[in-house]
Structure 1
Amino acid sequence: MWLKLSTLALLPVVILQGLKVRKNTPRLAEASGDRDGVCGQGQPLSLLILGDSAAAGVGVESQQEALSGSILSCLQDEYQVRWKLHAKTGDTTQQVIAATQLLAPQQYDVVVTSIGVNDVTKLMSAKKWLKQQQILFQDIQNRFHPRLIIVSGVPPMQHFEALPHPLAWLFGQYATQMNLQLQHWLAPQAQFEFLQFDIQTFQAMNLPMASDGFHPSKEIYTIWGQQIAALVRQYFHS
């Protein structure tokens, strides 16, 4: 309730700041390059990446520098990875659900998701967002039968360089509530791994964001991919 009241109180300022950010923030393209293929050698592993602009590699030039490339680079010496990236800039959870339903049903060992920033910018409640996430994950399970689903948390948007306060603060509160509800729901389900997007740690390491101050840089994509690869190894070697 307090967040709803805060939103109403801040709405005039937030609307003006949002329009200014939209006008002044550079529009970066999605990373170029292949979005599916087979690479590496070793144990067969199939991987599907779903999501929004971060999953699509906005902030770097090529998919090799993006999330997909980082994951593959970490896994290719141990696994022969059959992989697919299905992501689009601006997609909300509801749009990812619709996009996922266009994919042919087939088995993937691992599904990675990166969704939520565009739901935050629409000021969606955590309760409604969680219901949409649950629909998405049910569809993922029915359509792809993964053994492991790695869920990337909503970034702490209060630390986005492109966002002024109080807009950044408000978006950060929405992101925090979304993550708390999602983590609570995922926790008892062994098939899921939740991965927090830790911008504060990246900043402490002096790692830059992309030039728009909104998306990951090559360095952040590298660490994010390493974290996902570590969860894959841990799950399939245990």
Structure 2
Amino acid sequence: MMPVAPDQLLRVPLLPVLAAQGLSVRRNAQLLPEPIGPRSGRNGRGPRLRLLIAGDSSAAGVGAGTQTQALSGHLAKELSRHYTVEWQLEAMTGHTTQDTLNRLQVLDGQFDMAVTALGVNDVTRGVTRKKFADRQTLLMNLLVQQFGVRRIVATGVPQMARFPALPQPLAWVLGQQAARLDQALQEVTAGFSQARHLTLNLPDDPALAAPDGYHPSPKTYAIWASEAAALLRQA
């Protein structure tokens, strides 16, 4: 049996505080829309590259005004320097790994590469480490077997303890669980030769957060896309 982590032991005595802080965060949250713009496209010249981007609100680009400023736009721009990129975005605010599985299972098409961004909603919905790992494994298998993906970049679960919108101790508790899920994601990714885990080690810079203090800014999306594109090109 694995030892119980300090944050898990403290959740019960901290429950009234955590509940109050969670309610306050939801009540005062600045709800940013998903960016406008196309969710598929064709960019660049060169060898054909079919790209799938899947996940939650960050994959959808919340925090950017347009898809050009979001992950999809920056990623298409980066890759179009070397390929004819045919890209498709399948992401939605609030989606967990299970939601993304459900969405992709009814999707038609074949892709060469995929970038995923999931985990924050699994944390806030109380998904356990084991369930998260199991669902991520199903997702990897789906991408490889159903869509023929040859390279997957699984973006790490964000460091939620650093989200400006979250007060303490809520930020610490969610941050600890996010770290556990990210460790599980790293282990799952290591089991697939097609997959690479991407850890975004970002500095403490206010310009990297969207106005809601919860999502990436366009500057962060550009950094993320650059690092994801580098991993994809290694394939």
TM range (shorter): over 0.9
Which residue of structure 1 aligns with residue 151 of structure 2? 148
User: Equivalent residue for 1:212?
Assistant: 212
1:115 to 2:110 alignment: no
TM-superposed CA distance for 1:193, in Å, is 0.6
2:139 alignment counterpart: 136
Aligned length: 231
Contact persistence 1:65–1:221 (CA under 8 A):
yes
CA separation in 2, counterparts of 1:9 and 1:130?
A: 28
Measure, in 2, the Cα distance between the counterparts of 1:219 and 1:8: 38
Task: Look up the equivalent residue of 1:203 and give its one-letter code.
Answer: D
Q: Does 1:44 align with 2:45?
A: no
- Name which of 198, 210, 229 aligns with 1:195: 198
Q: Deviations over 1:21-78 (max 9, x none)?
A: 0011100000110001211101110100000000000001000000001111111121
- Could you list the runs of 5+ residues in structure 1 that have no partner in the other structure? none
Q: Secondary structure at the match of 2:180?
A: helix
* Identical columns (%): 43
* 5+ residue gaps, structure 2: none
* Deviation of 1:207 (Å): 3.4
* C-alpha distance in 2 between matches for 1:208 and 1:189: 31
TM-score (norm 2): 0.94
Map of 1:61 onto structure 2: 65
Q: 1:42 & 1:202 partners in 2: Cα distance?
A: 35
CA shift, 1:147, in A, is 0.5
Structure 1 residue 194 displacement after superposition: 0.2
**TM-score normalised per structure 1:** 0.93
Structure 1 position 101, deviation (Å): 1.3
Provide the C-alpha distance between the structure 1 equivalents of 2:159 and 2:96, rounded to a whole number of angstroms.
17
Taking the aligned partners of 2:80 and 2:21, their CA distance within structure 1 comes to 44
Cα distance in 2 for partners of 1:109, 1:226 equals 18
Q: Secondary structure of the residue that 1:144 maps to in structure 2?
A: coil
